[in-house]
Copies of this chain bind each other. A is one copy, B any other.
């Protein structure tokens, strides 16, 4: 029996996921699909993704309530308000309440309400998965579950903002701040309003998720100290590069006096730093642990297909069909 998916949101990520599902012939069937502007469709027999990707308008004005959708998993990929986390948070809550598993690509619900949603999922005996929220398919939560069980993570450093890393990487080679930003916008990596990235709100939401999920903290994004990625940081990046170093947009999470504290800002790294070579749109994390020592993961030059793949790995875990090596 293939697992039945309801895809909410059908922008770049949703379309990439549809392509990935078609290409990998993974054991899933899409029974509901909601787009922002082109309607929705529900079909318990399965929706032909090839037809949808070709650009057909969908029959329903809007989806019926989540509880009535014939699906096992909600795949939540809607556009969201970064401050409130809505409407994604409501969708996630409703789906878990209705007894569905949930995979979300949206940071908002996890940064705002991880404890509540995880408790709800546990109570319902369902899985809540969100690998794509952090850094595309960079192994983070899958890594924790599979490779770091029982270990205590004592500190995390990392680069989790593609736009900011692209700007500072370009600055290192002499590209002006504004040009690098425009480049990221043209490639669809940076948003039209780039302040969410540049002022560190996106990085703060990700640091919150890491601290709360992996280090047992109870932070909100406003707790993260932020320094912006701006003209001054770009100038520092150029100067550092002239001396063989790099300035990277770094999140740093540590325990201090029983509390978990986190920050984001431009930081100068020497070549022997494990994050030095995490260049341009690449991302990476350094985990300090008790049992496993220092473990580093990096994802180089990801595209939107790598966001879709993160969702696919979550879906495969849920379906219990994870292939053996």
Contacts and interface: CB of A to CB of B under 8 A. Distances in A.
Interface of A: 20, 24, 26, 137-139, 141-151, 213-214, 244, 271-274, 276-279, 284, 291-303, 305-306, 309, 312-313, 316-317, 322-325
B145 A322 contact: yes
A323 B148 CA distance: 10
A58 to B, nearest CB: 27
Contacts of A301: 293-294
A325 B145 contact: yes
B150 A146 contact: no
13 contacts: A24-B291, A137-B147, A142-B146, A143-B146, A146-B317, A149-B313, A151-B309, A271-B277, A272-B276, A274-B278, A292-B299, A294-B301, A295-B299
A12 B175 CA distance: 53
Contacts of A303: 293
Contacts of A278: 274
A26 B313 CA distance: 27
* Residue of A139, A149, A273, A324 most packed against chain B (CB within 10 A): A149
A270 to B, nearest CB: 9
